[in-house]
Chain A
């Protein structure tokens, strides 16, 4: 697109939009620091006790650990089945039917809340699988499209003749993939991992059906806490979650550059 002069009204509007986008997040940080027992902004007095409070609340600690476990296992699983699928879709583009790539984006098309409910009915209740396993499987499936598409995007620019060369020199298929293909699509794999991880950590609609006695994820716990209490602890938990996001964005920036996300 060309660089022209922007009408000052448009520029002013864009500035307002960015204020609208970022101010609520600043407000959460401010409320988390307020030395009051109720949520307020601007903060009255500054304290970090609400952050200390999180670690004293067993429910938050437990669900945060569950959330991390589910996100790591779910993301790992989705990459484990997603990378081979993305590879085959790109390598054998001509020979594979079109419906396959549609199938792998289905988890995005089906409403999450419907998917969560269907999973609860079929595998948690129907097959009697433990809640934790259902959570991991549900998250892995929910984020599979990211794995397939993001890894696929980086494979699209990979020159498969390099791989052919290694193979013709006698390198076995798996070793070729590990030593020739994988280093070339490292950025895509990292990006897929990060997007999938963030999606999993923040998920509500699928997880809300898959909580059991003593098992819940952090966002679901926050929701439940909010319905009973309205104190700065929630704000401080939210800030911690935001810090995870900041950390992740720093990793993306360092490895890929953030404009990657608009491609």
Chain B
């Protein structure tokens, strides 16, 4: 009876995930090995093509830079929030959550208004007389990275605030009472304890920016094609389904690989592990 209950209750969700996610994704990956030219021909074509590799490198580069900036900015901000007294802390957390609940399209669109030809930055610089011609800031790697950092900093802050609050006060007081200066205390006490949280945040931001679609589409355009926009273009514009499936397979392998490696690292780094 009990056995029936526990399998019966998990069954609908299990069937849904297997039928609608696992099987479709595996089938999509499977189609890439069915080419007449040989099972791996579509992958050799991808890795030999300068254009496709450039898209992959660009995506990795944007994701890594975004993750690095978000880590630093998010950590410092979360550190400040964690030290705040109750009321102020809640207000700051709300201010960080609000952008997170606003859609990706809306948040990317804001940067079109800021960075555009008639955008705020150009208007200000022109009116001050610093530039004579409007700068072209859109559709560059920089504009994509700025918008991505904007998307993911709140996520990093939220991930880290909880972690930093969980660091026992006594540890830091102990370090201070034993004469440790702030910087060594930070490096030898706070950072090691926060490391697992930093890894979780980094994984979330890396996979999120590596697989993003709307932001590179709006702020990067054709010139700054990334894996997500490339996949869409292959599937829905050129109808090259095998090519699109190949991009999908590469994306799945990279994101799941990163998650597995990093979560193992986070577990090993956890000094508080029970």
Partner of B14, one of A100, A121, A253, A262: A100
Which of B22, B93, B105: most chain A CB closer than 10 A?
B105
Instruction: Verify if A75 is at the interface (C-beta below 8 Å from B).
Output: no
Best-buried of B81, B103, B213 by chain A (most CB within 10 Å): B103
Instruction: List the A side residues contacting B214 at CB < 8 Å.
Output: 204-205, 219, 223
Q: Is B104 an interface residue (CB 8 A)?
A: yes
The residue from A4, A22, A140, A219 contacting B99, defined by CB atoms under 8 A apart: A22
Interface-lining segment among B40-48, B72-80, B264-272 = B72-80
CB neighbours (8 Å) of B116 from chain A are 39, 230
A113 and B109 contact, CB distance less than 8 A: no
- If A114-B231, A245-B98 touch, whether A109 touches B211 (CB-CB below 8 Å) is no
Q: How far is the CA of A107 from the CA of B218 in the complex (A)?
A: 25
What are 25 pairs between A and B in contact, CB < 8 Å? Answer: A1-B82, A1-B167, A17-B73, A27-B120, A38-B118, A39-B113, A85-B13, A96-B6, A96-B10, A104-B13, A106-B22, A111-B248, A117-B232, A118-B25, A122-B24, A138-B20, A141-B16, A148-B13, A204-B214, A226-B112, A238-B109, A253-B94, A258-B90, A261-B158, A262-B161
A130 within 8 A of B: no
Binding stretch for chain B, among A51-59, A87-95, A157-165, A181-189: A87-95
Where chain B touches its partner, the secondary structure class is helix
A241 on interface, CB distance cutoff 8 Å: yes
Query: Are A111 and B109 within 8 A (Cβ)?
Result: no
Asked, given contacts A21-B96, A28-B106, A249-B98, whether A117 binds B14 with beta carbons under 8 Å apart, the answer is no
Give the interface SS of chain A, mostly helix, strand, loop or mixed.
helix
Chain B interface residue count, Cβ-Cβ cutoff 8 angstroms: 91
Is the C-beta of B111 less than 8 angstroms from some C-beta in chain A? Answer: yes
Bound complex: CA A108 to CA B22 (Å):
12
A residues within 8 A CB of B211?
Answer: 111-114, 205
CB distance from B104 to the nearest CB of A (A): 6
Q: In the complex, A114→B255 CA distance in Å?
A: 11
Contact B83 A6 (CB under 8 A): yes
Contact flag A242-B102 (CB < 8 Å), given A2-B83, A14-B76, A261-B97: yes
Query: A185-226 vs B: 1/0 string, CB under 8 Å?
Result: 000000000000010011011001100000000010011001
Within the assembled complex, what's the spacing in Å between the Cα atoms of A263 and B10?
Answer: 25
Which residues of A lie under 8 Å from residue B228 when comparing CB positions?
111, 113, 205
Known A-B contacts A31-B113, A222-B105, A242-B106; A114 and B28 likewise in contact (beta carbons under 8 Å): yes
CA–CA, A123 and B24, complex, Å? 8
Interface residues of A (CB under 8 A from B): 1-4, 6, 10-11, 13-14, 17-18, 20-22, 24-25, 27-28, 31, 38-41, 80-82, 84-85, 87-89, 91-92, 95-96, 100, 103-104, 106-107, 109-115, 117-123, 137-138, 140-141, 144, 148, 173, 198, 201-202, 204-205, 208-209, 219, 222-223, 226, 230, 234-235, 238, 241-242, 245-246, 248-249, 253, 258-259, 261-263
The smallest C-beta distance from A185 to any residue of chain B, in angstroms, reads 15
Contact of B10 with A84 in the complex, beta carbons under 8 Å:
yes
Residues from chain A with Cβ under 8 Å of B210 in the complex: 111
Given contacts A21-B96, A113-B211, 12 further A-B contacts (CB under 8 A): A1-B82, A1-B164, A1-B169, A6-B80, A11-B80, A88-B5, A92-B6, A95-B6, A115-B25, A144-B17, A148-B13, A205-B213
